[in-house]
């Protein structure tokens, strides 16, 4: 930061701690060394290979361990003079208003400045990281889907016991003229209703837990003081709810269909 004609540096918390930096000492300047480009290091005068410049520390920031131990923020004019690149810019960060389409803004900026510069959104700058996170998300989906596949056997067992329990009722329906196809549809529908009722109840409970996590931060991060947040971040997305309902419906439908088609074998009903 810069105040009038005086430059000030914002120092990462870990760096300030390592240097025993004090903001209350008016004579405590921070000397920054930067290697000179193309200048070999001489054993006799190693200091000649570095550009040095003193700056007064104006504050200490604590964001995250990775940032606190690596960065010292200084005014751009100070940095340009220190590295000897007073007319060059390596990168610029541009903030856009909330709700603005990032990709559309990127394309407009890219068109304006031409192909000699690369414009990338935050997602594109950390594409590998976001790809890993997305892969992890789908891996969790497959694991939970596998658990639901195992739960099919519970659904099949429950419906089979229900069919056996309702054997007399099915016999009465059969005596009244109901065909096996009608009985099968009844148990198929009941199996789907039971499955979807459990899915809806689970989604409501899960959504409530996620909202509580967002509001109160119930589950804390280990060493949370090293991060911007101290609790696990949670983001509710409606497409995820829809996908879960679809998966549960398909699994419940297949389990109910399999069980209802076995009515003849279980009850020996003859048409």
Spell out the domain ranges in the chain: 2-83, 97-125, 127-267
- pLDDT level of residue 258 (50, 70, 90 thresholds): confident
| pLDDT-based confidence at residue 271 (cuts at 50, 70, 90) | very low
User: Residues 103-119: pLDDT tens digits?
Assistant: 889 889 888 888 888 89
Asked if pLDDT for residue 43 goes beyond 90, the answer is no
Residue whose structure tokens are 């119930």: 218
Distance (Å, whole) CA 184 – CA 188: 6
Q: Is the pLDDT of residue 226 over 70?
A: no
pLDDT at 147: 84
**Does pLDDT of 267 surpass 70?**
no
Instruction: Return the sign of the alpha-carbon dihedral for residues 14, 19, 22, 26.
Output: negative
Q: List Cβ neighbours of 264 (8 Å cut-off, separation of 6 or more).
A: 180
Q: Give residue 67's pLDDT.
A: 80
Question: Tens digits of per-residue pLDDT, 158-205?
Answer: 888 887 887 788 788 878 887 878 888 888 888 888 888 988 999 999
């Amino acid at each position: 930061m810069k105040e009038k004609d005086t430059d000030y540096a914002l120092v990462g918390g870990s760096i300030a701690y390592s240097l025993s930096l004090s903001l209350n000492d008016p004579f405590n300047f921070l000397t920054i060394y930067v290697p000179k480009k193309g200048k070999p290091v001489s054993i006799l005068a190693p200091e000649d290979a570095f550009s040095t410049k003193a700056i007064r520390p104006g504050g200490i920031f604590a964001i995250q361990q990775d940032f606190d131990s690596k960065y010292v923020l200084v005014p751009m004019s100070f940095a340009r003079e220190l590295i000897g690149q007073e007319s060059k810019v390596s990168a610029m960060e541009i903030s856009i208003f909330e709700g603005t389409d990032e990709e559309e803004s990127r394309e407009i900026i890219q068109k304006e400045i031409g192909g000699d510069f690369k414009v990338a959104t935050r997602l594109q700058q950390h594409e590998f990281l976001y790809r890993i996170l997305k892969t992890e998300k789908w891996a969790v989906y497959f694991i939970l889907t596998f658990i639901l596949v195992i739960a099919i056997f519970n659904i099949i067992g429950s419906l089979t016991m229900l069919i056996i329990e309702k054997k007399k009722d099915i016999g009465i329906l059969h005596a009244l003229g109901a065909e096996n196809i009608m009985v099968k549809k009844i148990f198929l529908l009941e199996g789907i209703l039971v499955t979807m009722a459990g899915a809806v109840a689970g989604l409501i409970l899960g959504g409530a837990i996620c909202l509580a996590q967002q509001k109160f931060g119930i589950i804390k991060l280990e060493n949370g003081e090293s991060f911007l947040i101290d609790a696990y971040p949670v983001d509710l997305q409606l497409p995820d709810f829809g996908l879960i309902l679809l998966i549960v419906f398909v699994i419940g439908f297949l389990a109910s269909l399999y069980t209802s088609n076995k009515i003849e074998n279980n009850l020996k009903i003859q048409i």
